[in-house]
Chains A and B, each alone.
Chain A
Amino acid sequence: MENELKQLIIDALDLEDISVADIDSHAPLFNDGLGLDSIDALELGLAIRKKYNVKIDAEKADVVKIFSSVSTLAEYIQAERS
């Protein structure tokens, strides 16, 4: 699941120079980590909705925590789908 999510991030956000192996599941996705920004968060939210049919509400109180790393995102998606 985590590797699949990493590939989705690479494809959806045009991260041409980055491979699945380069992304640390526990590293921050935004700012310091991969250097993604708020537009990327929206784009990733759309890609996740399309692929997993899981909606991440931007107004949700814990949205920052959900998007904090590949690991937290994968956990959230799996919990929502089960």
Chain B
Amino acid sequence: MSKKFDFVIRTWSAWAPGFNNQGHRQNQQDMQTEKAGLPAHVPKALQRRLSPLARAVFNATDLCIGNVATPIVLSSAHGEVNKSLEMLKAMQRGEEISPTAFSLSVHNAISGLFSIAHNNHQEITVLAPGQDGISMVFLEALGILHERRNNTDDVLIVLYDEPLSDFYPSLSIGLKAPTSCALAIKIALSGQGLPLQLQRSPEHRHDSGEHALQIFAFLEFLTSENTTLQLGNHRQSWIWHKQ
């Protein structure tokens, strides 16, 4: 049996159409039309740089961050690659590229805005975990906690994604994000909160879908009575147990 990792979810919060902040289901018809509002505490000069996905991230993290800056690990399958596509199209038309658009198209753009807006100088990592899905962000965050890097007791995990342009072919695991979504989870090795255990399973699964769908699966796991969640694509899978 593989090693088991125990940890605690201190608090969590989501911005996802169809769910309210603490994950209770809303009317599914709202899913396509809902847009995240502008976080009021973000300076005006930064607000104009917040894309709809960045707003979703800021809204999800608002209820989780607390007063003490913690290390953060963010994870997104594609980030805002749609912006890169728009720039490539502009180049094809012979136009010059907007420096602002370029600066906001990179995979860690949202984390940079977040760091500036919250004056957070802690370690911030952004993953693009591909087929390994959301399990990798938990491993990275647990690594920080076990090494006690930054002398921290808490690490903030942020999962986010938006629908990918139809220009890109679907992978075989397919099943793209239905809508923009962001889920913030503050974890610690012990203390008050929801105790969970993460474990690798040798079982190959092919049914978990892309990172974006796994965010919704985890949200469902958090809000339901289910005690186990297993996710995987092609390679090994990972199991989360509520203790």
**Chain A residues within 8 Å of B, Cβ to Cβ:** 13-17, 35-37, 39-40, 42-43, 46, 49-50
Contact = CB atoms under 8 A, between A and B. Distances in A.
Given A37-B45, A39-B99, A46-B99, 16 more contacts: A14-B48, A15-B48, A16-B48, A35-B43, A35-B45, A36-B45, A39-B100, A39-B103, A40-B100, A42-B99, A43-B98, A43-B99, A46-B96, A46-B98, A49-B96, A50-B96
A23 to B, nearest CB: 14
Contacts of B103: 39
A43 B44 CA distance: 18
16 contacts: A13-B48, A13-B100, A14-B48, A15-B48, A35-B43, A35-B44, A35-B45, A36-B45, A37-B45, A39-B99, A42-B100, A43-B98, A43-B99, A43-B100, A46-B99, A50-B96
Interface of B: 43-45, 48, 96, 98-100, 103
A1 to B, nearest CB: 23
A40 B43 CA distance: 15
A66 B59 CA distance: 39
A39 B103 CA distance: 8
A50 B43 CA distance: 29
Contacts of B45: 35-37
A7 B96 CA distance: 20
Contacts of A36: 45
Nearest to B45: A35
Contacts of B98: 43, 46
A11 to B, nearest CB: 12
B52 to A, nearest CB: 14
B49 to A, nearest CB: 8
Contacts of B44: 17, 35
A39 to B, nearest CB: 5
Contacts of A43: 98-100
A35 B116 CA distance: 14
A5 B135 CA distance: 50
B88 to A, nearest CB: 17
A37 B188 CA distance: 37
Closest 10 CB pairs of A and B: A42-B99, A14-B48, A35-B45, A43-B100, A43-B99, A39-B103, A39-B100, A39-B99, A46-B96, A43-B98
Contacts of B43: 35
